[in-house]
């Protein structure tokens, strides 16, 4: 039974990713291909070797585009963004022909610890969920208490969100299959009990130290 449930986690990690694609809303870190037929200078450039220089959704959620200015893409679908860009360009171009595609999704760094087969830090494509994070950690192990695992948000580390993984897998109820955010941590226990000071605080302390070090390196 446990092997079957573990296999379901890996399978759901794939199926939820496919479902996400049709509903995807843009976020910071996403890279966009933009083609404006009447104005090639606005279109995404491609050099002689075929390498594309995409438009980037910045950390503030905005994209800067000639003539159109800055568009807040955060939370928009591709269709909504395309229509907004077309509306802005129509002030300068008659009936602009615009095509937009997300060529690369941004990522978030999350952490999965406890009773999983490969605990650690993982880079997930934005929009991925609890199930995806467990799948990235190669699934839960034999000792996992699946009726209560914990999601800890980086911005609210003492507010533990209990998730019934067992119900999710057995009934297909995905209401607790939350989207993972930057810095989130999943913790899977043996007995559904968790102590912030014993189990979580030491990990978060290490995570913050690593994060600060990475930021310092990037700032240099």
Q: Would you list the domain boundaries of the chain?
A: 31-104, 107-219
CB within 8 Å of 145: residues ≥ 6 apart: 115, 188, 189, 190, 191, 192
pLDDT at 122: 92
Distance in angstroms (rounded) separating the CA atoms of residues 131 and 133:
5
Taking phi over 0 as left and psi of -120 to 50 as alpha, with beta for the rest, 169 belongs to: alpha
pLDDT band for 142, please (50, 70, 90 cuts): confident
Among residues 184, 161, 51, the alpha carbon closest in space to that of 111 is found at 184
Residue 195 has pLDDT above 80, yes or no: no
Would 31-104 and 107-219 be classified into the same CATH topology? no
Task: Report how far apart, in Å, the C-alpha atoms of 194 and of each of 53, 118, 135, 162, 170 are.
Answer: 47, 20, 22, 11, 24
* pLDDT at residue 59, rounded to an integer: 86
pLDDT at residue 197, as a whole number: 60
- Averaged pLDDT, 132-144: 90
Is pLDDT larger for residue 22 or for residue 47? Answer: 47
Burial classification of residue 96, based on how many CB atoms lie within 10 Å of its CB (0-12 exposed, 13-18 middle, 19 or more buried): buried
Concatenated DSSP letters of 48-89: TTS-EE-EE--TTSEEEETTTEEEE-TT--HHHHHHHHHHHH
Angstrom distance (rounded) from CA 106 to CA 60: 13
| pLDDT over 70 at 21, yes or no | no
Average pLDDT, the chain: 81
CATH match for 107-219 among 3.10.560.10, 3.30.360.10, 1.10.600.10, 3.30.300.30? 3.10.560.10
CATH number among 3.30.360.10, 3.30.1950.10, 3.30.1490.20, 3.40.50.1000, domain 31-104: 3.30.1950.10
């Amino acid at each position: 039974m446990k092997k079957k449930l573990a296999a379901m986690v890996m399978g759901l990690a794939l199926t939820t990713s496919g479902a996400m694609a049709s509903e995807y809303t843009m976020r910071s870190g996403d890279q966009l291909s933009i083609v404006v037929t009447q104005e090639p200078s606005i279109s995404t450039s491609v050099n002689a070797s075929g390498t594309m220089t995409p438009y980037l959704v910045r950390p503030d959620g905005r994209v800067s585009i000639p003539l159109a200015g800055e568009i807040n893409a955060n939370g928009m679908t591709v269709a909504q963004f395309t229509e907004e860009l077309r509306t802005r360009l129509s002030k300068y171009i008659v009936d602009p022909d615009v095509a937009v595609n997300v060529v690369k999704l941004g990522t978030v760094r999350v952490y999965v610890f406890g009773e999983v087969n490969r605990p650690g830090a993982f880079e997930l494509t934005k929009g991925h969920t609890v199930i995806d994070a467990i799948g990235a950690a190669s699934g839960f192990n034999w000792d996992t208490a699946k009726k209560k695992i914990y999601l800890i948000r980086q911005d609210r580390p003492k507010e533990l969100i209990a998730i019934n993984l067992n119900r999710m897998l057995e009934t297909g109820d995905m209401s607790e299959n939350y989207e993972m955010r930057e810095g989130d941590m999943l913790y899977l226990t043996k007995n559904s009990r968790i102590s912030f000071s014993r189990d979580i605080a030491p990990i978060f302390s290490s995570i913050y130290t690593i994060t600060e070090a990475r930021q310092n390196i990037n700032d240099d």
